[in-house]
Structure 1
Amino acid sequence: MSNVYVRSYQAATANPDAYQQWQQNLFGDNLGNLLYTYAVERQLSSSGNVVQPGPTRGQRLDPGWYHEHVDHLVIPLANAFRWTFRERLDTLSELIERLRIPVTVIGVGAQASAAGEWNADHATQIDASVKRFVGALLERGPSIGVRGEFTSDYLIGLGFPTDTVDIIGCPSMFLRGGDLTLRPLPDLTDDSPIALNLSPYVSEMGPIIEHNLARYDRLDYVAQDLQTLGLLLGEPYDGKGAGDPLLPTGPEHPLVAGGRAWMALNATTWLRELARYDFSFGTRIHGNIAALLAGTPAYVLAHDSRTLELARYHQIPHLVVRSLGDPALADAATLAAGADYGPTVSGHAERFERYVAYLDRHGLDHIFAPGQTGASFDDAVAAVDFHPAVRAGVPVPRLGRPGRPSQRPSLASRIAARLRR
Structure 2
Amino acid sequence: MKKFLIRAGMNPHDFKTPQDLIERDLIGTNSGNLLYAHSLYRNITTNDSILEADKYVLDINRVKYINENYDGYIIALADAFRNDFIWQLKKMTQIIEKLQIPVYLIGVGVRAPYGTSKNDLKFDFDENVRDFINAILKKSTIVGVRGKLTADYLSNLGFRENIDHTVIGCPSMYTFGNHLKIQNLSKVDEETKITTNLSKKAPLNVLQFIRKTHKNYPNAAFIPQGYDEFKLMYTGVQVFNEKNYPSSITDIEYENGKSKFYINANTWIKDFRENDFAIGTKLHGNIAATISGVPSISIPLDARMKELVHYHGLSHILPEDIQANTNINDLLKSVDIHSAERKQSENYNHFIEFLNENDLPYFYQDESNYDNTPYDQLIEKIKLYPPISAFNSEETNIKERINNIVIGNEKRIRNMNSLIKKQRTQLQK
Relative to the length of structure 2, the TM-score reads 0.87
**Residue 2 of structure 1 pairs with residue 6 of structure 2:** no
| Pair 136,349 (structure 1): closer, same or farther in 2 beyond 3 Å | same
Decide whether aligned partners of structure 1 residues 372 and 404 sit closer, same or farther in structure 2, where only a CA change above 3 A counts.
closer
Higher deviation after alignment, 341-350 or 399-408: 399-408
Give me the whole-angstrom Cα distance separating, in 2, the residues matched to 1:314 and 1:283. 16
CA-CA distance at 1:384 after TM superposition? 2.2
How do 1:333-344 and structure 2 match up within 5 A? 333-344=329-340
SS at match of 1:351: helix
The alpha-carbon deviation at position 206 of structure 1 amounts to 2.0
Q: Which residue in the other structure is 1:274 paired with?
A: 272
CA spacing shift, 1:226–1:133, aligned 2, 3 Å: same
The 2-side partners of 1:148 and 1:279 are apart by 25
Equivalent residue in structure 2 for 1:377, among 363, 366, 375? 375
SS in 1 for 2:178: coil
Residues 238 and 189 (structure 1), Cα distance of their counterparts in 2 relative to 1, 3 Å cut: same
SS state of the match for residue 151, structure 2? helix
Alignment correspondent of 2:294: 296
SS at the partner of 1:280?
A: strand
Please tell me whether the aligned partners of residues 308 and 320 of structure 1 are also in contact (alpha carbons under 8 angstroms): no
Give secondary structure in 2 for the equivalent of 1:360: helix
Instruction: Pick closer, same or farther for the CA change 1:325–1:178 going to 2, 3 Å.
Output: closer
- What residue in structure 2 maps to residue 215 of structure 1? 216
**Separation in 2, partners of 1:166, 1:291:** 26
- The whole-number CA distance in structure 2 between the counterparts of 1:28 and 1:139 is 27
SS at match of 1:343: coil
Q: Secondary structure at the match of 2:299?
A: strand
1:80-121 deviation digits (Å, cap 9, x = unpaired): 111111111111111111122111111111111112279x9x
Question: Which of 357, 372, 386 is the matching residue for 2:384?
Answer: 386
1:22 Cα deviation (Å)?
3.2
CA gap 1:58/1:346 in 2 versus in 1, 3 angstroms: closer
Counterpart of 2:335 in structure 1: which amino acid? A
User: Would the aligned equivalents of 1:300 and 1:317 in 2 still touch at CA under 8 Å?
Assistant: yes
Q: Is the contact between residue 67 and residue 99 of structure 2 (CA under 8 Å) also seen in structure 1?
A: yes
Name which of 396, 402, 406 aligns with 1:402: 406
Q: Which amino acid aligns with 1:339?
A: V
SS in 2 for 1:212: helix
Correspondence for 1:141: 140
> Does the Cα contact within 8 Å between 2:365 and 2:373 map onto a contact in 1?
no
User: 2:172 corresponds to which residue?
Assistant: 172
Other-structure match for 1:352: 348
- Amino acid of the residue matched to residue 100 of structure 2? R
Indicate how the Cα distance of structure 1 residues 146 and 53 shifts in structure 2: closer, same or farther if over 3 A, else same: same
* Structure 2: distance between partners of 1:181 and 1:325: 27
- The C-alpha deviation readout for 1:208-247, integer Å capped at 9, x for no partner, is 12321232121110111111111111342334xx142x32
Deviation of 1:363 after TM superposition, in Å, equals: 0.4
The amino acid of 2:290's aligned partner reads L
Equivalent residue for 2:363?
367
Give, in whole Å, the separation in 1 of the partners of 2:108 and 2:219.
Answer: 35
- What is the CA–CA distance in structure 2 between the aligned matches of 1:401 and 1:262, rounded to whole Å? 18
Relative distance call for 1:27 and 1:327 in structure 2 (3 A) is: farther
Unaligned runs of 5+ in 1: 409-421
What amino acid is the match of 1:336? Answer: L
Matched with 1:412 is none
Alignment of 1:196-345 (within 5 A): 196-204=196-204, 205-239=206-240, 242-244=241-243, 246-321=244-319, 323-324=320-321, 326-329=323-326, 331-345=327-341
Q: 1:32 to 1:325 in 2, by over 3 A?
A: closer
Distance, in Å, in 2 between the alignment partners of 1:152 and 1:283 is 23
CA distance in 1, matches of 2:334, 2:354: 34
8 Å contact kept, 1:243–1:250 = no
Match of 1:131 in 2: 130
User: Among the aligned pairs, what percent are the same residue?
Assistant: 25
Whole-angstrom CA distance in 1 between matches of 2:100 and 2:378? 32
Tell me the distance in 1 between the aligned counterparts of 2:270 and 2:60: 32
- 1:104–1:362 CA contact under 8 A, matched in 2: yes
User: The residue matched to 2:144 in structure 1 has which SS?
Assistant: strand
Higher deviation after alignment, 341-350 or 73-82: 341-350
Alignment partners' CA distance in 2, 1:28 and 1:346: 32
Q: Equivalences for 1:48-59 in 2 at 5 Å?
A: 48-57=48-57
The amino acid that maps onto 2:14 is: A
Contact 2:19/2:407, CA 8 A, preserved across alignment? no
Cα 1:360–1:243, aligned 2, differ >3 Å: closer, same or farther? closer
1:86 aligns with 2:86: yes
Structure 1 contact 12–381 (Cα < 8 Å) conserved: no
Which stretch has the larger CA shift, 280-289 or 211-220? Answer: 211-220
The separation in 2 between residues aligned to 1:358 and 1:401, in whole angstroms, is 43
Q: How many residues align?
A: 401
CA distances 1:129-180 after superposition (whole Å, capped 9, x unpaired): 1111111111111111000101000100111122211110111111111110
SS at match of 1:233: helix
Q: Secondary structure at the match of 1:247?
A: coil
Contact 1:143 1:164 in 2 (8 A): yes
> Which stretch of the first structure deviates more once superposed, 248-257 or 274-283?
248-257
Aligned partner of 1:417 in structure 2 is none
1:10 and 1:232 mapped to 2: Cα distance? 21
User: Aligned partner of 2:34: which letter?
Assistant: L
Query: Structure 1-normalised TM-score?
Result: 0.89
> Does the 8 A contact of 2:74 with 2:105 survive in 1?
yes
After the TM superposition, which of the residue ranges 153-162 and 366-375 deviates more from structure 2? 366-375
In structure 1, distance between residues paired with 2:136 and 2:254: 44
Moved more, 255-264 or 161-170: 255-264
The alpha-carbon deviation at position 278 of structure 1 amounts to 1.0
Matched with 2:422 is none
**More displaced, 46-55 or 392-401?**
392-401
